Amino acid sequence: MVPRKYLLSEDDMPRCWYNLAADLPTGMQPPLTPDGKPIGPEMLAPVFPMNLIEQEVSQERWIEIPQEIQEILARWRPTPLRRAVYLEQHLKTHARIYYKDESVSPPGSHKPNTAVPQAWYNKQFGIKRITTETGAGQWGCALAFACNLLGLECKVFMVRISFDQKPMRKLMMKVWGANCIASPSNETHAGRDILARMPDTPGSLGIAISEAVEAAVSDTSGQTRYSLGSVLNHVLLHQTVIGQEAQKQLKQAGEKLPDVVIGCAGGGSNFAGIAFPFVLDKINGANIRLVPVEPAACPTMTKAPFVYDFGDTAGMTPLLPMFSLGHDFVPAPIHAGGLRYHGIAPLVSQGIVEGLLEPQAIDQLTCYKSALTWASTEGTICAPETSHAIASVIDEAVKAREEGKEKVILFCYSGHGLMDLSGYDRYLSGELPELRLSDEEIQKYQKSLENLPKPERRKSGRW
Ligand SMILES: *Cc1c(COP(=O)(O)O)cnc(C)c1O
């Protein structure tokens, strides 16, 4: 029988996180204030604990994972590498399709890989309370779970549309002891301001981030900090355990290197997690394609310009060098809530500018169709976010069949969809529209960026 799963023991867990910033051929550009001054670590101190800020700006290639964090991660890590043999048979492809199953974590996605270290470093620093935002609810659940294990308070601002569409997620947060409220809320200036202007807004990650940051920095006791589930360097860093494990497991399966590595991308963290260790191989000369996949309704990497933009709607965060649809952009209410973000991680952005990464956008109908093909072959029900990766994988596998080529495809199965069945319901009853963002819409939101500083497009020309 062809093996379906490749397992590692606790002893095989990665001991370090991999920091791509150390290996990019041109340096990363710093975060800026709105008038163009570089942001120093001390300016971030009201928002994040200093130990995480040090990771955020680190140029070290390998950063050791503290033993206590490894012990918590060992509850579900190493995750299985599985081979999608049933999908391969169904597609009659010559491709061998492998996936890292990040849905086996207690909250059901890759997000606790960073929630646990973030909660741990906050606790080390003497913080008692963490605020955050959540889109689909996956991140809120992951942080609630981590804070609960480490004895910290957790407050979650959940994007209104998901709050209404995904009641089970907020109940999970409650079980893990967190306080979850709908955003925009009446609890912050940022929330009240948006509600006054747009009372019926479905909310957005940008708005929820503004609220969570404000809630953290306005606590005068100094014992509250904010936590972000994607986008930032230290978050992407924590996810690199995924790709490092996959490297070992592919060897176990007798493979050399994958031909293509695929992950869906909202803020870019699960994609970075699986892909960055292979980006190092590519920088060292390997021939690998690395494909982050986004929704056509929120085409940040494929259609937006590379700019300096705020991470949130109210402009409370530093300006980050990234591809961005504009901080005012409110994406259509698609069910892949975790992919409704106006920007994409600066490290992923720089990888795109360099030509190391080849982003792709796919519309939600193709994604749900792929999710159903997956459910009826492999059997599991994937998160709507994950279906974007699967749609791209199916495309690659079909191409391999048509070209008569053998190909090794690796992707990140970022989470299960058992709390997201309402999206499947709408797809199955034919209610979901195909959604693509038009060029006019994109132009409209770029106005908010006119007076902000512009990043350089730094490119070594190697790819
Ligand atoms: C949050 C989420 C994503 C998108 O976030 P990234 O930071 O881009 O990884 C993808 N898949 C699932 C299941 C998620 O919960």
Output the pLDDT for position 315: 85
CATH of domain 5-12+64-108+234-447: 3.40.50.1100
Q: Which atom of ligand 1 is nearest to the CA of 271?
A: 9
Q: Tell whether ligand 1 has an atom less than 6 A from the beta carbon of residue 300.
A: no
Residue nearest atom 10 in ligand 1 by C-alpha distance: 385
Q: Tell whether ligand 1 has an atom less than 6 A from the beta carbon of residue 269.
A: yes
Query: How much distance in Å is there from the Cα of 200 to the middle of ligand 1?
Result: 26
Residue nearest atom 13 in ligand 1 by C-alpha distance: 415
Ligand 1 pocket test, pick from 99, 132, 138, 335 with the greatest ligand atom count within 8 Å of Cβ, gives 138
Ligand 1 pocket test, pick from 111, 239, 347 with the greatest ligand atom count within 8 Å of Cβ, gives 111
Q: Tell whether ligand 1 has an atom less than 6 A from the beta carbon of residue 387.
A: no
Output the pLDDT for position 329: 87
Output the pLDDT for position 298: 93
Across the chain, which distance is largest between two alpha carbons, in Å?
64
Q: Which atom of ligand 1 is nearest to the CA of 239?
A: 9
Q: Tell whether ligand 1 has an atom less than 6 A from the beta carbon of residue 338.
A: yes
Q: Tell whether ligand 1 has an atom less than 6 A from the beta carbon of residue 414.
A: yes
Residue nearest atom 5 in ligand 1 by C-alpha distance: 266
Query: How much distance in Å is there from the Cα of 402 to the middle of ligand 1?
Result: 31
Query: pTM for the complete prediction?
Result: 0.96
Query: How much distance in Å is there from the Cα of 292 to the middle of ligand 1?
Result: 12
Q: Tell whether ligand 1 has an atom less than 6 A from the beta carbon of residue 359.
A: no
Q: Tell whether ligand 1 has an atom less than 6 A from the beta carbon of residue 111.
A: yes
Q: Tell whether ligand 1 has an atom less than 6 A from the beta carbon of residue 455.
A: no
Q: Tell whether ligand 1 has an atom less than 6 A from the beta carbon of residue 113.
A: no
Output the pLDDT for position 162: 86
Encode the chain (463 residues) as per-residue pLDDT tens digits.
Answer: 999 999 999 999 999 999 999 999 998 999 999 999 999 999 999 999 999 999 999 999 999 999 999 999 999 999 999 999 999 999 999 999 999 999 999 999 999 999 999 999 999 999 999 999 998 899 999 999 999 999 999 999 999 988 988 889 999 999 999 999 999 999 999 999 999 999 999 898 889 999 999 999 999 999 999 999 999 999 999 999 999 999 999 999 999 999 999 999 999 999 999 999 999 999 999 999 999 999 999 999 999 999 999 988 888 889 999 999 999 888 887 788 778 889 999 999 999 999 999 999 999 999 999 999 999 999 999 999 999 999 999 999 999 999 999 999 999 999 999 999 989 999 999 999 888 888 888 888 888 888 899 999 999 999 9
Query: How much distance in Å is there from the Cα of 196 to the middle of ligand 1?
Result: 30
Residue nearest atom 15 in ligand 1 by C-alpha distance: 138
Residue 220: how many CB atoms within 10 A of its CB? Answer: 7
Residue nearest atom 7 in ligand 1 by C-alpha distance: 269
Q: Tell whether ligand 1 has an atom less than 6 A from the beta carbon of residue 109.
A: yes
Q: Tell whether ligand 1 has an atom less than 6 A from the beta carbon of residue 415.
A: yes
